[in-house]
Structure 1
Amino acid sequence: MQNPIFFGLDMFLFIISFCIAPLYGENATAVKVDVGIILDLDTYVGKISRTCMLMAIEDFYTNHNYSTRIVTHLRNSNNDDVDAASAAIDLLKNVQVQAILGPQRSTQADFVIDLGNKVNVPIISPSSTPSLSPKESPYFIRSAPCSSFQAKAIAGIVKAFGWREVVFIYQDNNYGSGIVPFLTDAMLEIDAFVPYQSIISPSATDEQILQELYKLKTMQTQVFVVHMLPCLASSFFLRAKEAEMMTKGYAWIIADVLTSLLDSVDSIVIDAMQGVIGVKAHVPKSNKLSYFTKRWRKKFQDENPDTDNLHLNVYGLWAYDMVTALATAVDKVGAVVQQFKKPVTRENSTDLDAIGTSNMGPTLVDSVRNINFKGLSGDFHVTDGQLQPSAYEIVNVIGNGDRTIGYWTEQHGISKTMKPNGKAVYSTDKDNLAAIVWPGFCIDVFKEVVKSLPYLVPYEFIPFATPDGQSAGTYDELVYQIFLEKYDAVVGDVTIVANRSRFVDFTLPFTESGVSTIVPIKNDERKNAWIFMKPLTKDLWLTIGGFFIYTGFVVWVLEHRVNKEFRGPPSQQIGMIFWFSFSTLVFAHKEKVVNNLSRFVVIVWVFVVLVLTSSYTASLTSMLTVQQLQPSIYDLIKNGEYVGYHSGSFIPGLLMDLKFDSSKFRNYSTYEEYNEALSRGSRNGGVAAIVDELPYIRPFLAKHCSKYAIVGPTYKAAGFGFAFPKGSPLVPEFSRAILNVTEGEKMVRISREWFGEEEGCPGKDGTVITSNRLSLDSFKGLFLTAGVSSSCALIIYLSIFFYENRIILASGTSITQKLSLLAKTFDEENNKSSEGSKKQGGIGEGDRTAESIAVSPDFPRSPAVSTFYHLEGVFSQEEGFSTTEPGTPYHDMIQT
């Protein structure tokens, strides 16, 4: 017979694992599979990818019991090819990893891919260089689209504008040159000619870049396609602006790697790139992506507290999805012998030969090379070891960031929306793009004003920047340079304000201006008929329901034999399980519990219900009141909220005049920073509102019109003007010329090109709701307490019950007969607890307590059961036993 103590312990462990595992999703029996990660952890993309990869592993295994589990081994390649190769050898030789994620750069990946082919280990790298082909390397999987895919999208833009000649400008390495053959072929298909290719060394000096730009300037071609990494591109475009090639008449198209990483580029570079067109992989918006972005931002900030203004980009999303794909493939392959198969030792063998080959690799690589699922980045479709792009966004660099002006797909060509209605043909019509702003806003106005003067005014544009290309100061400091006689005039988006007019004279404004406030739009939740469901997330609702049923079941088990309230027909007992637990929600349960274990369970559960109902009430109240409020400028001051503004502008002085606390100011340089700060909110490192001038607010709202709105009042400002030294005779002349320009169609055209038409938001529904919903994570400890309490009570009760009925368990009958007898015994009423006083002189009629074994007529008489001890009562002759006194052993009284 099994020891009842061990039996109870087994039951305890089983129930505890059953209750706790769904909360934490751990599977101690999962087979560990070693996977290496090689990243440049000092780079922008490397830091983002690391966080995304680790979050992917956490998300994949949470709340799922897979038979396998990836264990990662991270190595830093330090942006060096040799370090990347050394890291790969270490992972393969000493760790025997079954796959390697990375490295990032193509020069690093080239050698590592050869290693993977040699030892049969999949190498999953984002390297987009076409020269690294998964077709030629069977163990190479490209986790980002090949750079050659974008060639047709770029050619589509060139054809849309009818350009017949294009110059390629690319980085002098395998990465830069790899795309050239594909671009050349794409241009030939649209009858465009490539008269020249400009190659820029990654180590080129500013003088060398300028020399090449002046050479390009002498050519007739003024359309350029640039394929460079952000570091080299930043220096290049600053020099292009210095060479006056970022002006009207020039067209610049940048490839996806630079477009996707524009948020990593300094604001001074973005200012130099005004009007540039770019292509980048399209990432569809989704609730899942929005939720992940918020989690990622918090985790990334915790891991990198010294890093500011980093944004989640498509490379991080691809890294997340690739880890998910690998984990899925590993689980599909299952538990395979992971030790490397050692080769036969031979003469002149190298350390690489001694590594051997992976047993899992051949099966694993087949699962990963062709996988398709819906990921954070959209449709994550890998075909023959290469990620397939679904679409490209066409963007225009404008203001402090970029805005989407259209899309390109292989099926529809260029279109304003991702899914053009009723469109079945391929199009390269530029009318399918939104209005494009070409280089030179303020510069265009200045040139038009100079043209309207009755005499020639020679001029030279000098950027207000440091030698390394950074901004040299604020707008106030820029204007003050005239007073210091360093500049003869200032041309730009300089607002006319009183304190600046003490040092310079301004012309009449060439554009109207005003200062207003942007805040997030919030829905009125009271209009939602299902608002009562919103305080809790779906997972939390389901968990609460499960615990209600589980607690009701435990109380029923504990009370069934001793409490008449918990007895009756099966339908009534099932109803009691649901009724008793759910009635505690409103504290309306009227049934008294008599078992001490039941009382313990109910006390703990009532406490849990009290916490849940209180939290639910508070959250619902918040949704019905605070959430619907739209903050005004005065609410922001009163509540001490953080407020953002454009770096270098005069807005801080205006805000301090309105009695704002200057410690609550945060400055930003790009529209993406505006969006991120408003999304995070004042309490999470962002801001509650952005205060800026209307010329900057309008393009931002055009891009995010469904998320933000302007709230009053609007404070008047004089507008943008040109600044000259005090008493300059050019001021009245330029002012009259400005009137001629602004009263005609020229200024209307320039304003429309820069700011675009004020349009609504077709295809976008409603507004964004700020969520205060309660999630399961907030109550894991509470449910853990309730689950352990109920489970312990149940285990104690079952252990006692099984011990008291150990005679049945020890019998030589079948398991089915044992279970049947145990069920009958459990279903019989135990009156000992409620009528113990009536049984002091013996057992009453029909009494079958938990301490007297109830044996049915069909109980088997087995020779194996030779001795029973009568504990408290008697058994009748009809059941096969003689009547004896308590304590008398039953020897040889079993009928044979």
Structure 2
Amino acid sequence: MVKVGVMIDKNSRVGRHIDMALSDFYAEHASYRTRLSLCSRDSQNDVVAAASAALDLMENEQVYAIIGPEWSSQAKFVIDLGARAQVPIISFSATSPSLSPAQNIYFVRTTYDDSVQVKAIAAVVQIFGWKEVVPLYEDTEYGNGLIPCITNAFQEIDTRVPYRSVIHPSAHDIDILNELIKLMTMQTRVFLVHMTASLGSRLFLQANKAGMLNDETVWIVTDGLTSLLDPVGYRAKESMQGVIGVRPHLPMSKRLERFKKKYLIGARKLNLFALWGYDTVSALANAVEMAWWNSSKSRNRRRTRPKAGDGLRPSKFEVFNVVGHNEWVIGYWTPKHGLCSKRTKSNVSNFTKKENGCRTSKDNLMPPIWPGGTRQQPKGWVIPTVTGKKMKIGVPVTQRFSEFFKIVWDPQTDVPTYSGFSYDVFLEVLKELPFALPYEFKPFMNASRQSAGSYDDLLYQCYLQVVDAVVADMTIIANRSNYVDFALPYSESGVSMLVAMKDDKRRNMWIFLKPLKWNLWLTTGLAFVFKGFIVWVLERQKNEDFNGSPGEQFRLCLWFSFSTLVFAHRERIMSNLTRLVLVIWLFVVLIITQSYTANLASLLTVQRLQPKFVDVHDLVRNRHYVGYQSSFVKELLIREMNFDESRLRSYSSPEKYHKALMKGSGNGGVDAIFDETPYLKLFLAKYCDKYTIIGPTYKTDGFAFVSSTSLSLCSMHYYL
């Protein structure tokens, strides 16, 4: 006789299957010489009682192994005791991933650990496109062990876990209801429940009472609520309509059929842990017989040192849907092929790589019936309506550059209207968010609807949590990041210098003389006269057209010279030498006329940008006045560019920029404006012919939205 301890709660359904398994095994193997003697102890569903029972079995009964306990929280302590006493602890129901046979060679797990189901759960979440999931789990070894695994699986499919709801098994119903009400204040409506059935049943009863099993919610359960170690009651099943779950697939066999016919009379469905407990006892009895035969030759009955293993791995999971009092299988999941529908179950082995698209297509699952009795898939988020709380967003009231943010109050209804580039960006971000974001704008103004302070003052309101966020053309600065959070920038960055342009004095009525210099004009005129004289000398003896009185000959020489400029001469040419001179001269004239035309066209059509100042150092050295708008630009001018603070002047609108630049330093204005590039481009769009941006650009981080550090807009940051 080999003593084996059994630690099971006396109220558990699994206990009677242990005794049945031993009777069946020896009925089939009557010739075996060894027999197991089961020493049962009640674990009382308590950690301390389980540890006490384990010590009693090891010290008083001197058992060779212990089957049990049932729960992971109990198994954690019993495994440590077994390792000290070198007594193997064999568990068919402790599924927490934190209990690893690889870390303790005296722990043998004859069931699956919970981590094997996380890929199947993640596949279900991915196939329906949900981007946020809130896990609800019990505060035990069993509940806490799965969360790191499921969180990592969700990260791989880009799904966030915005909140974790932890419920202790001893929590009262009112505590569970309060936690559910807290969940109703959030926008996420996809819930993953990882609990034993005793706590899970109470959870769903309270969720149904709170109206949370409606057509806007999604409930997914792990196999803890379906394995029937602690079966879900009839009332709880009525509160789980539309729930989706996963569980290991148990392939049918003749042995399983015989087991079900013999031991499940009157039972509604198969208890997986009862089956695993039955197999555990049979396997242990067979192992004892084999060990006896191996050691009988030496007559040395020694304890056998067990080998560590990684545990069992199911080849397939079922995806089921709770409808009525039944759990309808709507698909299957395998590590190789992903999700596939019940219709293609028999053809899984024939899938090709091309057909593996079933992993991300909803067509590969039978259409489930969701909570509320609808087949319309819930979107997974809603606008919270329990408390009516909205995010308060501070916005600036300013006249400086209203193209970014502008507020106009209706004179009749007194309702504000918002517009501007920053406002449009904010609306586009809201469209991209996978959840609703209820909000209301809070203009930063005084009683007369004027600005209540600077942008730094507006940020300080966010720090004080008067507002939750700020939507404005707010520049990202290092010292501001110490007390608020910035999203990603949505505009270009940089501080540039704007200066006025000089007047082009050449653009007057005598501009036609500007293409050529005076000495070139003089040389060209003399060349015309000299060319006319040469032609007269060569032609006057042979050509009657060049004869006449001296005055007529002089006028003819001038006329012939200048008429060649436009090729309008009509006199006949008799001498070959004259023709040679004319060919050379006409080529020279062609070059002169084309150069003149090109230069004149350039003067008339091309804008000559001639800024008054091109170097920042000239402004600093000559102590010119410069203008700015925001406080951080002032700090940049003083700290980085070495401007004297007394030479800085502040302006608040594009119109004031224009007036100050027109006056100049000598008349109470400024000679340059330093501001961020987006503002200066808006200014140039209005005054493009009088000013220009010159010099280097001093890099900044651009404009961004702001939230308080206690309420970080993580999802908005991502989509920006």
Kindly name which structure, 1 or 2, has the bigger radius of gyration based on alpha carbons.
2
TM-score (norm 2): 0.48
